[in-house]
Amino acid sequence: MKAMVHVYTGCGKGKTTAALGLALRAIGADKKVFVAQFVKGMQYSELKSISKIENIGLKQYGHNYFIKGKSSKKDKTAARQGLKEVEELLEKGEYDLIILDEANIAVHYNLFSVGELITVLEKSRENIEIVITGRYAAEELIEYADLVTEMKEIKHYFKKGIKARKGIEK
């Protein structure tokens, strides 16, 4: 079976959480998982959890901040390195599930194009599940994907001034 591409997008909370939930399910079925975190370089709680689990790898392709505004050459270099490494992993076929966390944001900030992302996806071996997360999924990627889920914010406690909490949002 061809590689299946999932896109988790939208302005609601839960895209990365859903992808990591799928990773947990895959590991329970003795599958190998790799998580490529684009734009992220901060110490999120999932890094500690993932380090304790067999059959899952994670690498960040970002810096100790989340882009807010204009991206830098350093941001672009890190993201492009990540895309290149993901391409190699997809071609090798050593993983059953590969998550490109915040790849939609990388496209949104022009760190690489949606065309470059799709070109990499097309190089995937069969029988790999690929999950792409992040707000602002490009229409071209939505059309290309096999499954698209939009997280829609109905209500969020951030609007009441509650900051990101360790173990819940970070």
Which of 142, 133, 164 lies closest to 20 in space, CA to CA? 133
Residue pLDDT, tens place only, 71-118: 889 999 999 999 999 999 999 999 999 999 999 999 999 999 999 999
Tell me if 107 is assigned to some domain. yes
Concatenated DSSP letters of 43-71: --HHHHHHHTSTTEEEEEEEESB---SS-
Tell me if 30 is assigned to some domain. yes
Tell me if 156 is assigned to some domain. no
Contact 2, 90 (CB under 8 A): no
pLDDT at residue number 167: 77
105: phi then psi, degrees, rounded to nearest 5:
-70, -40
Tell me if 160 is assigned to some domain. no
DSSP label of 166: T
Tell me if 159 is assigned to some domain. no
pLDDT at residue number 161: 86
Residue pLDDT, tens place only, 23-81: 999 999 999 999 999 998 788 888 889 999 999 999 999 987 766 778 889 999 999 99
What is the number of domains present in the chain?
Answer: 1
Concatenated DSSP letters of 102-118: THHHHHHTTSS-HHHHH
- Mention every residue, 6+ apart, whose C-beta is less than 8 A from residue 28: none
pLDDT at residue number 78: 96
Mean pLDDT in residue range 125-134? 97
Least confident of 11-20, 68-77, 95-104, 123-132: 68-77
Tell me if 163 is assigned to some domain. no
Which of 124, 51, 114, 38 lies closest to 81 in space, CA to CA? 38
If one counts every other C-beta atom within 10 angstroms of the C-beta of residue 47, the result is 14
Tell me if 121 is assigned to some domain. yes
Structural domain range at position 97: 4-151
Decide if pLDDT at 124 tops 90.
yes
CATH classification at residue 52: 3.40.50.300
Residue pLDDT, tens place only, 137-170: 999 999 999 999 999 988 988 788 888 888 777 7
Tell me if 129 is assigned to some domain. yes
AA identity, residue 151:
M
pLDDT at residue number 156: 84
